[in-house]
């Protein structure tokens, strides 16, 4: 709940923290872009501009095909674009267009 209402934290790096399950990583994705309904997308966190939850694979590298991280990156990139104009509503609308209308 604290991260959802976050208005100051811009970067959260949990990379290599393999203690986070895929379900936990999906919950972090929903934090920055909840596509369960239009209202949820509009009320997602628009402050985080970097959220890294890449999973390390046994050889010590990171999974390049990580779908969850790709979606997180798309959402935080939108946040980054609208950060400079301090317009979280515009970030919410852009996420809505990119994920609800293009799905």
Q: CA distances (Å), 30 to each of 21, 34, 60, 98, in order?
A: 14, 4, 27, 15
Between CA 90 and CA 88 the distance in angstroms is: 5
Eight-state DSSP code of residue 51? E
Backbone angles phi, psi at 52, to 5 degrees: -110, 115
Per-residue pLDDT tens digits of the chain, which is 103 residues long: 788 888 899 999 998 787 788 899 999 999 999 999 999 999 999 999 999 998 877 887 777 778 999 999 999 999 999 986 778 899 999 999 999 887 5
| Contact indicator for 12, 76 with CB cutoff of 8 Å | no
**Among 19, 17, 20, which residue's Cα sits nearest to residue 28?**
20
Eight-state DSSP code of residue 65? T
């Amino acid at each position: 709940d604290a991260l959802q209402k976050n208005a100051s934290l811009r970067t959260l790096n949990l990379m290599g923290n393999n203690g986070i399950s895929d379900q936990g990583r999906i919950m972090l994705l929903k934090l920055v872009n909840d596509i369960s309904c239009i209202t949820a997308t509009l009320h997602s966190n628009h402050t985080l501009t970097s959220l890294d939850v890449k999973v390390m694979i046994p050889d010590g590298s990171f999974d390049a095909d990580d779908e969850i991280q790709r979606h997180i990156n798309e959402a935080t990139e939108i946040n980054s674009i609208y950060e400079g104009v301090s317009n979280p509503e515009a970030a919410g609308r852009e996420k809505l267009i990119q994920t609800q209308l293009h799905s």
